[in-house]
Structure formats: C-alpha cells, structure tokens
Structure 1
Amino acid sequence: MNIIAILRPESVFYKQEPIRELDEALKGQGFQLVYPTSSDDLLKLLEQNPRIAGVIFDWDQDSLDLCIEVNEINEYLPLYAFISSQSSLDVSLNDMRMVLYFFEYGLAAAADISNRIVQYTAEYIDTITPPLTKALFNYVKEGKYTFCTPGHMAGTAYQKSPVGSLFYDFFGANTLKADVSISVTELGSLLDHSGPHLEAEEYIARTFGAEQSYMVTNGTSTSNKIVGMYASAAGSTVLIDRNCHKSLTHLLMMSNIVPIYLRPIRNPYGILGGIPKRQFTRENIAARVAATPGASWPTHAVITNSTYDGLLYNTRYIKETLDVPSIHFDSAWVPYTNFHPIYQGKSGMSGERLPGKVIFETQSTHKLLAAFSQASLIHIKGDYDERTFNEAYMMHTTTSPNYAIVASIETAAAMVRGKSGRRLITRSIERALHFRREVQRLRQESEGWFFDIWQPDIIEEAVCWPIEPGAPWHGFRDADEDHMYLDPVKVTILTPGMDEAGVMQEEGIPAALVAKFLDERGVVVEKTGPYNLLFLFSIGIDKTKAMSLLRGLTEFKRSYDLNLRISNMLPSLYAEAPDFYRTMRIQDLAQGIHRLIKRHHLPELMLRAFDILPEMKMTPHEAFQQQVRGNVETVELPDMIGRISANMLLPYPPGVPVVMPGEMITAQSRAVLDFLLMLCSIGVHYPGFETDIHGAELTEDGRYLVRVLRDGQTENR
C-alpha cells in the first residue's frame, strides 16, 4: 500500500514548486503518486482503490468539507493538508479526531515531509491491520529457522521437487511461510486463547457485537457441534429447527440427546418460511415434550437464521418467548448482519443480553465475507462456563490449525469494521437492488415470457422486506406478523411454470435447465429448486459479475425462443447421453420435465412431505450406535416404508433433511417417500438430471440404495 493521491493546488509558484519537490521525494521513498483532477475524481478514486494510503491536498482549496467526505469512505486514511501563512485553521475538537496532518508550503522541505508521510503510512497500516494478522505478517518477515512442523519448512521442501516447485510457484512464498507450527510462541495459542489469538478474539467480539467470540478453522459445521456439545448434556432434550444443516444432525448422532423438531412452513416454490410463532410458545413446547418418549423440558434450542433462501427472523421475539436456558442461532449464511441498519433486530447478537439466558451465534465467515474456506466464528452473549466450553472447543479443534485461515477470519472482521465496512455492505445491497430492478425492467420489455423475481412488487428502498400475512407475492399460507424478513442480497429468480399459489401452468421451464445453461457460460448458481434459482450478492460480487448473470438469463431466453438443439445449447448435457439427446430440442426437454413434475402434483406433494414427519423410533444417536454395531442392511429407496432409516436423507434441492436417523416412514408420512421418488424419477426419464440425495447411493443402473436398521432393532431407552 504505497499509493498517495495528490490534488494539485492552484497554479501559483509558491504552491506548485513544493509539491513538485515532494513528488520527487515520495517517489524516491518508493511511493506511487496519482493525480485526480478534482475532489469528485478523488472520492471516486478512493471508493474504487482501497490501496491508496493517503491524500495530499490544499487546505485553502478544499478545506474541511473534503476531509469529511474522505472520512466517510475511510475514517483511518491519513489526510495531509498543505497550508500557507494566510490559511485559516477553523477546525473543531471533533474534526481533530480525523487522521489529519498539516504541512506548510516551503522549498527544500520535501525530504522531511516525505519521511513523515512514510511514518504516518506505517502507522495507518498498523492501525488497520488486526492483531493476529499483524503478528503473523511480522513473523513471516523475520524469516526464522524452525525445527518443528510443518515439514515443508516455509516451502523449502517443495522447491526440492519438480512437482513441488509447481505447487510452490502456484501458491506463492508468503502463503507457505505463513503455514506455521502451533509451537511459534509469539503468535500465542488458538487452543489456550493466549497472545495475539486472544487479542484477535477480543477484536472480533467487539466488531460483531458479542461478549465473547471464538475462531474455528473447520467451518460452521464444526462450530455447530462445539456449541451443541457444550449446551446439551447426555440425556437432555433439545429443540431443533427441522430446517437444520446436516452438521446438526451429525451432532444428534454424536451426542445422546432427545430432539424435538420445530417445523418451518413452506411455500409452493419449496422456499422455507421459518418456524411459526406459535411453535415457540411454552404451551406448544409442553405439548411436544409430553408427546415425545424420553423427553424432558428442553435445555437448549437451535434455530436456522437465516434460512437458505434468505429469510431472517425477528430474533427478539424468539429470545423472549423460548423458555430455554440457551439458544443457538445457526447464522452460517449471514455473517454481515451487524454491519448495516436494515438487519437490526434480525441477528443472534442484536440487542442486549437477556437475564438467565445465553445466546450463541455461529457464522461462516467464508460464505459471504472475505475469509478463506472453513473460516467460521462462534459468538456468545450471556454467562457461560468458559472452561467447560473450551473443552468442547478443543474436542473439535485441531492442534495444528492453519494460521492463514485464522488470519483470514480476523481480516474479514477488520474489513467490515467502521465506515468502510458499512460501505462494503451498502454496496452489496445496492448491487442486489439494481439487479432486481433490471430483471423487472427486462420482464416488462420482453416479448412473451421472461424470468420473474421473488420479491414484493415495489422495492424502492434498501430494507429487509417483511413476510406479511396474506401478501400474495411470497406464497406462504400461514405467515405471522413481524416475524420473517427477506434479505435483499439473497436473490431468487423464478422460471415460468408455477405461480406463487402453487398453480401449475400449461407450459414451464424447470430451473435445472437454466442452471445448466448458466454453468456452461461460467455462472454458477447457489441453489436450484423446481422453478427457482438462488444467487448470493455478497461483497465480492461486482457489476461485471452481475451483468454476466443478467446476460446469461437473456441469452437463455433467446436460445429457448429459437428452440435450439440440446447439442448446441447444452453441450455438456448432450455429452452425458448423446444418443438420448441427439435430435432433442430445448423446448421439448423443458416441457417433458415440466409435464413430469405436473403429473406428480409437485406443489401439493412437497407441502405434504414436510407436513407430517416420519415417526421417530429412536434418537439419531441410538440409530448411529446400531449402525456402528453393524445392525444395518441396504434396501432400495421404494422399500423404506416401515423400516428405520440408519442415515439422514437429504435431497438437494431443497437441501434440508426429510428423514433423520432413527426415523421410520409410515403410511401417514408416505408423502415423504413419494416426494423423494418423484425427484428420482426425473433422472430416470432424463439423463443428467439425477437428484443428489445425501444418505442414498445412486447405482449405475439408476437405483437409489439406502441403509436401514435390520428388523428387530428397536430403541433401548
């Protein structure tokens, strides 16, 4: 970061000559100088170029107004104001809080001024760099010789092998030098929470509005298990969102606890609308406890916030209503909610602590912030036993953490702090809103059909849109007032074929076709439903990527309307089954899949499948113990009726468990199996559209095999 922006002063010699001398002196110190032509150019330059490390300007020409505008972009950026003997310094005490330095115009002063700018630039970099990252950078610069792990020794080993040299050149020297041993004492300890690691946790907690934060290097899958292992003793009962990540099912398999599932509502598109308010009440929980064998009053609750499709809860209602000692919000998909006012009251860490309750929130820092994969955070608000919690933490944390991942967690936090962080999130929201409006515009201008977008009819300002009871756009039949809100950065595109009420149209374009078309053109969809596609407008999405997606959608419409051959429009799909797709055209394929979905009455089937859960014959923990003992056998998916599932079954889409370990599909819950079979039937009829069902094995001849407990294996509670 050695770029300085200089706004040239007015064309008078006593000002121009000192700046010319300073230009030479700064270049001699290794700085790159850029000269915006106006204050407006400067501000645009700063917004687009975060590597600029300082601004030099004439105080009489631009004065305090420019400082305030720059400060709104980056409050830590050094400002260097040149003054003359006639300059008026009207600066308040509050204004002096800005990083503002004054220099007088004078000849032969450039060397001294440039030295000061070098010093202030170093202070700026030191200020914005968080503690652990700073310590890691310094350690790498020192270049110490170590006789400990890892064995590649800062990359030296790689350079002794041809293929190793390729690896070294690809990842770069600093990446490998930063892969250090836990034995490096000056970096502290991730497990003992000491030194720079402790400073990093405190820094992150302040940033995210938590009382305590923990860094986790194996994803939020691990963070969820850590919280669950601490909060749920063996034999206890836990309330758990049925729309849970599979890591929480694995927690239930690991820990001998009794789950009581809270069931979210669902609309005809397959979008989950959250758990209704009534399910959080004490009366409902008491009835569920009484109806669940082996259950006692719950000690802990786990709620998914936000849902996969971007719906956020009014978390205050849940915190105040749920009568349990601790609540865990699995917020893997929304690590940014503390950094913009539209998310106020919609995150686990929002608001003050509640007496007698501890709130946990887990976040995948890598998903929608700028951290490496597997970077995750645990936030805590409320009183808890730190030593016991740390035992659960160490139980799931490696003794050889990757320090680059750890540093990326802290850096992601540093990026969203302050005004510059607020601007990052604001820009993300603005890009999503602009994209939404462009889709609306194209839909109005297009001849025939075009894609729709799942949102209210009017989206004028940046807000989280409420899922209001009776509003037709969202399609939820039992929505509650002031309960769920749609995050604008989670953009769901709708394809023709079904309306929000679940009425199937005569013709349709299944979303999987659009997803395959976009993938051919380098655009990857986050999630694909029957007639909807989810796109995440994270802080890393710029206008170029948004326009590429918009262009891909318009190209699909053009190609579809021309009714191109599959071989031309979807060459990868054609390559999977050339004989099947040799003469087929895109409209034939779309209508064939659409008729198949329509014949199975997908909207009704999907609602029924999630209305009556399979019967829990034993806990997931007990079912897994039977599996470990070998008391399992393999059957085909259609033969699951009346058998206890050994594994979780999770079709993708929609990406949530439909069968948990220890559950049995009965005649009453037959719709669950019918839903799975319907998804499978698409792949049977159309190669390349096989459904991915986690927990089931797809054979080469198209059969789905699942593991069930042997007959006679029952619960031992």
Structure 2
Amino acid sequence: MNIIAIMSDVSAYFKEEPLRELHEELERQGFRIAYPKDRADLLKLIENNARLCGVIFDWDKYNLELCEEISQLNKILPIYAFANSYSTLDVTMNDLRLNVRFFEYALGTSGDIATKIRQSTDDYIDTLLPPLTKALFKYVKEEKYTFCTPGHMGGTAFEKSPAGSLFFDFFGENTMRADISISVSELGSLLDHSGPHKEAEEYIARTFNAERSYIVTNGTSTANKIVGMYSSPAGSTLLIDRNCHKSLTHLLMMSNVVPVYLRPTRNAYGILGGIPKEEFTRASIEEKVKNTPNATWPVHAVITNSTYDGLFYNTDYIKQTLDVKSIHFDSAWVPYTNFHPIYAGKSGMSGERVPGKVIYETQSTHKLLAAFSQASMIHVKGDINERTFNEAYMMHTTTSPHYGIVASTETAAAMMKGNAGKRLIYGSIDRAIRFRKEIRRLRAESDGWFFDVWQPDNIDEVACWPLNPRNEWHGFSKIDNDHMYLDPIKVTILTPGMSPMGTLEDTGIPASIVSKYLDEHGIIVEKTGPYNLLFLFSIGIDKTKALSLLRALTDFKRVYDLNLRVKNVLPSLYQEAPEFYKDVRIQDLAQGIHALVKHHNLPDLMYRAFDVLPQMVMTPHDAFQEEVRGNAHECPLDDLIGKVNANMILPYPPGVPVIMPGEMLTEESRPVLSFLQMLCEIGAHYPGFETDIHGVYRDDDGKYVVSVLNDGGA
C-alpha cells in the first residue's frame, strides 16, 4: 500500500517546484506517485485501486467539495491539501472534521512533509487492520524462536527438503510464519475467546449487526452443528427445513433428536423454492408433531436462507410466527446481507432482537466475501448461556486452528466496514443486473435460440425481486405474497428445452452439456440443473470475468448451431469414452439426453418425488447407530421399496436429501425411487454424465446399490 495520488495546479512556478521536490522525496521513501488528469479521474483511481494510501491536492483549486467526494469512497483515506491563496482562517469547522492535513507551498520542506505523510500512512494502515490480524502481523515480524507446534517452524523444515522447498516457494514465507501454535499467548485463544481473538469476534459482531459472533475455522458445516448441539438437547424435537445442507442432516445423525420437517416447494428446473407461509403456523406444526412418532413441541427451528439458488424469505414474518425458543437461519450463501438496504428484513441479523427468542445466523465468509476456504461465522441475537454454548463450540473446533483462516475471517469483516464495504456489494449487484440485461439483449437480437435468465421481466429496480402467484416466470405453482424474494447476485441461466411451468419442448439443450463446454474454456459453473446453470456474482467477479462468460455462451451457440463433433467441442468428454463419442455430434448428444428426460417426464417426476416424504421408521440418529453396530447390508437400488435406509441419499445438484437414514420408501413414495433410477439411467447411457448421488454406490458388477438396515429396520 504505497501509492500517492497528486492533483496539482502547476500554473505557477512557486507551486510546481515544491511539488517536484516532494515527488522525489516520496519516491525515495518507497512511494509510487500517480497523477490523475482531473477530479473524475482521481475518483475512479480511488474506486479501482485499493492500494492507494493518500491524496495530495491544491486547496485553492479543489477544496472542500473534493474532500467530501473522497470521503464518500473512503472515509479514512488520508488527504493532504496545499494552500496558499487561502489562509487557515478560511478553513471552516466542517473542513477540519474531514481527514485532511494542510501544507504550504515552500521550497526545502519536502523532507518534513514526506515524513508526515509516512506517519499518516502508517496510522492509516494501523486503522485498517482489525485487531487479531494486526496482532498476527506484529508477531510474524518479531521472528521469535518457538519450540512448539507446528513442526515446520515457520517454513524452516520445508526448506530442508526438495519437495518441501517447492511447497514453501509456492505459498510464500509469510504464509508459513503466520501458521503458528495456539501456545502463542499474546494472540489469545480462539477456544477461550480471549485476547485478540475476543477482540476479533467483537469487531465482527459490530460489523454484522449481531450481539455476539463466533469465528469458525471448519466452514458453516461445523457452525451448523455447533448451533444444533447447543439448541437441541437429546430427546427434544427439532423443526428443520427439508431443504437443508447435509451438515444439518449429519447433525440429526449425531444428535438423539426427533426431526419434524418443514417442506419447501420445487419447480420444474429443480430449483428449491421456499417453505410456504402456512408451514410456520402453530396449527401446521401441531399437525406435524401429531403425525411424527415420539415428537414433542419443537424447541428449535432451522431454516435455509437464502436457498442455493438465491431465494430469500421475509424473515420478519418467520421470527414473529414460529413458536419456538430459537431459530437458526443457515445463511451460508449470503454473508453480505447487512451491507445493502435491499436485504433489510430478509436475513437473520436484520433488525432488532425478538423478545423471548434467540436468533442464530451462520454464514460462510469464504463463499461470497473475501476469506480463505473454511472461514465461517456464527452470529447470535438473544440470550444464550455462553459457557454452555462454548462447550458445543469446542466439541467441533480443532485445538490447532489455522490462524490464516481466522485472520481472513476478520479481514473479510474489515473489508465490509463503512462506505468502502457497501460499495463492494453495490458493485456486485450492479454487475449482476448488467449481466442479466445483456443476456436478455442478446436473446432478443439472436438468430434462432439463445439462453435466457430466470428472473422477472422488469429488473430495472435494484431490489430483491418478489415471487408472487400472479407470475409464471418462477415456475412455482404454490407461492405466497410478500414471502420469497430473488437475490440479484445469484444469476440462473436457462437453456432451451423446458418452460418455467415444466412443459418439455420437442428439442432441448440439457444444461450439463453447456456446463462441460464452459469448463473446457476455463469457466466453472456453481451449480448445474437439468436446464439451468447457476453463477454467483460475488465481490470477486469483475467486468472481465463477466464478459468472458458472455463470450463463452455466445461461442457455445455458434458451435452448437454448426453441429460440430463432440471430440472437437468437448475433448475431455471424448477422452472418457472415445469409442462411444467418436462419431457423435453436439446436437445428437443434446437431443439424446433431452429424449431421455422427456421419456421419464422429468418435471412431473420431480414434483411427485418431492411431494411425498418417505415414511420415518426411526430417527436418523437411531438408524446410524444401527449401521455402526453392523446391522446393515447392501441392497440393489431397484429393490429399495420396503427397506429402511441406513444412510442419507442425496443427489448433486441440488445437494438436498431425498431419503434420510431411518426412512423407508413405500408405494406412495415410489416416485423418489423413479427419480433416482432416471439419474442413474442417464449416466449409464451417456458416459461422463453420471450424477453424483451421495449414498448410492456402484458395485463391482456396475449395479447401483444402497445401504439398508437388516430386517427392514424393524
């Protein structure tokens, strides 16, 4: 961070020469100097260059208005003003409140001015750094000798080995030296929440509008289990979104609780919608409890918000309506909701605490903010027993946390503070909406087919767009007013072949083919459905990446319309089965898979597969205990009806369980089996298009098998 911008008025020699001296002195001290052409150029430089550490300008020419514009972009950026025509008596009290220091044009003073700029720069960097990160940087610079873990000793051990030295050179010295032991007392303790670790969590809580926050170093999968272990004692009943992440279904297998499921809707694209309003009412929950063996009134509820595909709830309604002691919003995909007004009333930490309830929100800091993988946070509003909660926290937290992950979590919070952080989220939303409009423009101008976007017709308003029963674009047959909203940052591209309400057309392009083409061209899709592709416009997505995606989509249309050979269009797929694909053309492949989808009537099958839940014979916890005792065996997938499942079965995408441990498929829930069989059949017909299904395995003979409990689990 060493760039200084100078906005000078060099019309007079008495101004030009002192600035020339200052330029030379600043360069001697290691600063780089940039000269914006005008006010607009300067503001763009500040907006697009985070390494800028100060602005020097001529007060006689620019004065207060420029200071205010700079402050809108970065409130704490040091500003230096040279004034001659105006005396300091002309500076108002308002001017002095701004982060500005005044100098005079005078020869021979450049050394003193450069020293003051260096001091202000150091103070600026010190202010930017959050507490734990600052303490970690300081510790690394001290280069202490340690006789504790980790064994690589700041990278020294790596450099004693040829393989290790390659590893060291790739990751760099500071990465090694910042990987330190929990024994370093001056950094406090993540497990005890003391010292700089405590300060970091307090800093995060203030930033994310929480009363208490916890840093978690093994992802939101772990954060979810921590909240669940504290909130749901053994023998209690848990109200849980059937559209939950598998970390929460694993919680059900670990904890001896009785699950009662809240059931979301689903559309023909396989996009999971929201849980209807009625499901949150007391009457609906009473009915669910009555029909669930051994269930009592739930003590805790878990809701996925937002969904994988970017659907938010009206969380104010849920907080006020759900009659439980605590509510956990699994918000792994949306750690940015506190930093733009369009998310107000749509997140766990939005608004004030709810009397008599505890609200939790877990967020994957690494998913859509700037943090290392596994960085996550738990936010709390309401009264908890912090000592007991910390026991649950320590059950799932390593005693050797990676301080780089911890510091990156805190730094992600620091990046979101103030106007600079809000600008990052505003930029993400703006780029996503521009991209959406560009797809629609290209579709309107296209000769023949082109991709579409899953969104309402009018997206001119910057908002989370509501889903309502009057429109068909969303494809949900049952939807409530003022309940679900689409996040503009989550962009779902639609491929030809299916209407929003599930009508299959004569021809189609399954999205899996487009996904493989994009992968060949260096673009990774977040999620691929039957006729839809999900892209996340996080703060790390810039104009270049967005344009590259547009170019790749238009290139796919060109090669598809030319009907090129698979071996030329998808060489990686061809390498998987050269004999099968040697004469296949891209349109043949698309129509072949599309014909299988039509044969099985995928939209209808998905509706029916998720309309009826399998029968719960025993809790997930009890079923898993039977499996670890060895009371389970393999069963052909085709023979699953009437058997009690030992493991969860969960197809990707969307990564939501269709069968839980302890559940049994009956004739009523046979569509679940038909859905799984269809996924397996597509993979069997077309090499390279196998669906990843957790809990379904291929045996040595190539047949699909599952694990079921002995004697049907009876």
TM-score band by shorter chain is over 0.9
SS at match of 1:583: coil
Offset of residue 96 of structure 1: 3.4
Tell me the amino acid that sits aligned with residue 80 of structure 1: Y
How big is each residue's C-alpha offset from its partner over 1:203-232, in whole Å with a ceiling of 9 and x where there is no partner?
Answer: 000000000000000000000000000000
- C-alpha contact (below 8 Å) 1:470/1:477 kept by paired residues: no
Tell me the amino acid that sits aligned with residue 100 of structure 2: L
* Alignment correspondent of 1:690: 690
- C-alpha contact (below 8 Å) 1:470/1:479 kept by paired residues: no
Offset of residue 86 of structure 1: 3.0
Structure 1 Cα separation of the partners of residues 86 and 496 of structure 2? 69
Offset of residue 95 of structure 1: 4.5
SS at match of 1:256: coil
* Alignment correspondent of 2:109: 109
- C-alpha contact (below 8 Å) 1:7/1:35 kept by paired residues: yes
1:392-403 correspondence runs (5 A): 392-403=392-403
* Alignment correspondent of 2:241: 241
Tell me the amino acid that sits aligned with residue 693 of structure 2: I
1:67-86 correspondence runs (5 A): 67-86=67-86
TM-score where L is the length of structure 1: 0.99
Structure 2 Cα separation of the partners of residues 352 and 677 of structure 1? 48
Structure 1 Cα separation of the partners of residues 702 and 440 of structure 2? 40
SS at match of 1:273: coil
* Alignment correspondent of 2:279: 279
Structure 2 Cα separation of the partners of residues 702 and 72 of structure 1? 62
SS at match of 1:272: coil
Kindly indicate whether residue 335 of structure 2 is the aligned counterpart of residue 323 of structure 1: no
Structure 2 Cα separation of the partners of residues 712 and 569 of structure 1? 48
> Structure 2 stretches of 5 or more lacking a match?
none
How big is each residue's C-alpha offset from its partner over 1:614-633, in whole Å with a ceiling of 9 and x where there is no partner?
Answer: 00000000001001100000
Tell me the amino acid that sits aligned with residue 179 of structure 2: D
Kindly indicate whether residue 228 of structure 2 is the aligned counterpart of residue 228 of structure 1: yes
* Alignment correspondent of 2:450: 450
SS at match of 2:238: strand
* Alignment correspondent of 2:26: 26
How big is each residue's C-alpha offset from its partner over 1:96-128, in whole Å with a ceiling of 9 and x where there is no partner?
Answer: 333111111212111111111111000000001
SS at match of 1:189: coil
* Alignment correspondent of 1:520: 520
Offset of residue 268 of structure 1: 1.2
* Alignment correspondent of 1:464: 464
How big is each residue's C-alpha offset from its partner over 1:560-591, in whole Å with a ceiling of 9 and x where there is no partner?
Answer: 00000111111111111111111111111101
* Alignment correspondent of 2:626: 626
Offset of residue 89 of structure 1: 6.0
* Alignment correspondent of 1:496: 496
Tell me the amino acid that sits aligned with residue 41 of structure 1: D
Number of aligned residue pairs: 714
* Alignment correspondent of 1:181: 181
SS at match of 1:235: coil
How big is each residue's C-alpha offset from its partner over 1:245-277, in whole Å with a ceiling of 9 and x where there is no partner?
Answer: 000011000000000000001111111111000
SS at match of 1:206: helix
* Alignment correspondent of 2:250: 250
- C-alpha contact (below 8 Å) 2:273/2:311 kept by paired residues: yes
Tell me the amino acid that sits aligned with residue 355 of structure 1: P
* Alignment correspondent of 2:704: 704
SS at match of 2:14: helix
SS at match of 2:273: strand
* Alignment correspondent of 1:339: 339
1:409-558 correspondence runs (5 A): 409-558=409-558
Offset of residue 21 of structure 1: 1.3
Offset of residue 90 of structure 1: 5.3
TM-aligned CA distance change 1:110 to 1:234, over 3 Å: same
- C-alpha contact (below 8 Å) 1:429/1:488 kept by paired residues: yes
Offset of residue 469 of structure 1: 1.5
Tell me the amino acid that sits aligned with residue 698 of structure 1: R
Offset of residue 702 of structure 1: 3.7
Structure 2 Cα separation of the partners of residues 194 and 456 of structure 1? 48
- C-alpha contact (below 8 Å) 1:684/1:702 kept by paired residues: no
* Alignment correspondent of 2:373: 373
CA RMSD of aligned residues (A): 1.0
- C-alpha contact (below 8 Å) 1:302/1:330 kept by paired residues: yes
Structure 2 Cα separation of the partners of residues 642 and 92 of structure 1? 82
TM-aligned CA distance change 1:166 to 1:210, over 3 Å: same
SS at match of 2:651: strand
Structure 2 Cα separation of the partners of residues 85 and 694 of structure 1? 74
Moved over 6 A (4+): none
SS at match of 1:711: helix
- C-alpha contact (below 8 Å) 1:276/1:480 kept by paired residues: yes
652-661 or 202-211, which deviates more: 652-661
TM-aligned CA distance change 1:91 to 1:605, over 3 Å: farther
1:599-618 correspondence runs (5 A): 599-618=599-618
- C-alpha contact (below 8 Å) 1:60/1:87 kept by paired residues: no
100-109 or 356-365, which deviates more: 100-109
How big is each residue's C-alpha offset from its partner over 1:72-93, in whole Å with a ceiling of 9 and x where there is no partner?
Answer: 1111100001111535765554
How big is each residue's C-alpha offset from its partner over 1:600-647, in whole Å with a ceiling of 9 and x where there is no partner?
Answer: 111011011000000000000000100110000001111111001000
* Alignment correspondent of 1:569: 569
- C-alpha contact (below 8 Å) 2:566/2:584 kept by paired residues: yes
444-453 or 651-660, which deviates more: 651-660
How big is each residue's C-alpha offset from its partner over 1:9-58, in whole Å with a ceiling of 9 and x where there is no partner?
Answer: 23201111111111121112111111111111111111111101000000
Structure 1 Cα separation of the partners of residues 646 and 132 of structure 2? 44
- C-alpha contact (below 8 Å) 1:517/1:556 kept by paired residues: yes
* Alignment correspondent of 2:149: 149
1:99-138 correspondence runs (5 A): 99-138=99-138
Tell me the amino acid that sits aligned with residue 616 of structure 2: M
How big is each residue's C-alpha offset from its partner over 1:168-202, in whole Å with a ceiling of 9 and x where there is no partner?
Answer: 00000000000000000110100011110000000
TM-aligned CA distance change 1:579 to 1:483, over 3 Å: same
SS at match of 1:293: coil
Tell me the amino acid that sits aligned with residue 159 of structure 2: Q
Structure 2 Cα separation of the partners of residues 503 and 712 of structure 1? 38
SS at match of 2:183: coil
- C-alpha contact (below 8 Å) 2:644/2:712 kept by paired residues: no
* Alignment correspondent of 1:162: 162
Structure 2 Cα separation of the partners of residues 353 and 680 of structure 1? 47
Tell me the amino acid that sits aligned with residue 152 of structure 1: H
Kindly indicate whether residue 235 of structure 2 is the aligned counterpart of residue 262 of structure 1: no
Tell me the amino acid that sits aligned with residue 373 of structure 2: S
SS at match of 2:40: helix
Kindly indicate whether residue 585 of structure 2 is the aligned counterpart of residue 585 of structure 1: yes
Structure 2 Cα separation of the partners of residues 581 and 89 of structure 1? 82
TM-aligned CA distance change 1:711 to 1:99, over 3 Å: same
How big is each residue's C-alpha offset from its partner over 1:630-667, in whole Å with a ceiling of 9 and x where there is no partner?
Answer: 00000111111100100010001222110011100111
SS at match of 2:223: helix
Structure 2 Cα separation of the partners of residues 95 and 323 of structure 1? 53
Structure 1 Cα separation of the partners of residues 598 and 85 of structure 2? 82
- C-alpha contact (below 8 Å) 2:432/2:491 kept by paired residues: yes
How big is each residue's C-alpha offset from its partner over 1:493-551, in whole Å with a ceiling of 9 and x where there is no partner?
Answer: 00000001111100000000000000000000000000000000000001111111111
Identity of aligned residues (%): 70
Structure 1 Cα separation of the partners of residues 700 and 531 of structure 2? 28
TM-aligned CA distance change 1:518 to 1:700, over 3 Å: farther
Structure 2 Cα separation of the partners of residues 257 and 658 of structure 1? 19
How big is each residue's C-alpha offset from its partner over 1:303-327, in whole Å with a ceiling of 9 and x where there is no partner?
Answer: 0000000000110000000000000
Structure 2 Cα separation of the partners of residues 319 and 375 of structure 1? 27
* Alignment correspondent of 1:314: 314
